[in-house]
Amino acid sequence: MKKNIIKFGILTGLILVAKIFVMMAIKGDSTDFEKGASVGTIFLVAAFSMIFFGIRNYRDKIADGVIDFNKGFRIGIQITVLGSVIYVIGWMINFHYIDTEFIENYIAFYSEKIKASGKPQLEIEKEITAFKANMANYENPFVMMMYTFLEVFPVGLIVSILCAMLMRKKAADKTT
């Protein structure tokens, strides 16, 4: 079981890390963080589809075609955690060594977006100030790791639940 989780967890993580670099390439030198959002979604779907394949691989090749929800969910959530941790490592490397101006660019992007919203000036200033304070917290490595982990983990959690429900098969169900 461990080999299965490691294999599909690493694949999940590598696809998620690839998302970082593809999104950077699409964004280019601009501060338009909405560019390529659909491409990012495609990468999330591809990454977390590994949960389905991991559970199915375990069921069909290791467990002789039988798996219950509990076992399927445990496999899925472990793949999710490993993939999310690899994503965090990839993001930390990207943030500290490659995209070192991320915070400044993201603040500029968000500020322009809020200014274009048509909200009253006082509300715009409050939102920008609150956002800048939040981004200051983001410079703390532990906060950054937590935010980055929580960026992808909930998606994997939901996919793990769904796949565990879909892939469960009792011994009597094996013939179908």
- Mean pLDDT, to the nearest integer, of 65-77? 95
Confidence of residue 84 (pLDDT cuts 50, 70, 90): very high
Tens digit of pLDDT for each residue in 2-58?
999 999 999 999 999 999 989 888 876 666 677 777 888 899 999 999 999 999 999
Task: Provide the pLDDT for residue 134.
Answer: 87
Tens digit of pLDDT for each residue in 104-159?
888 888 888 888 888 888 998 999 999 998 888 888 999 999 999 999 999 999 99
DSSP per-residue codes, the chain: -HHHHHHHHHHHHHHHHHHHHHHHHHHTTS--TTTTHHHHHHHHHHHHHHHHHHHHHIIIIISTT-B-HHHHHHHHHHHHHHHHHHHHHHHHHIIIII-TTHHHHHHHHHHHHHHTTT--HHHHHHHHHHHHHHHHHHTSHHHHHHHHHHHHHHHHHHHHHHHHHHH-B-GGGGG-
Q: Where exactly are the structural domains of the chain?
A: 2-99+151-175
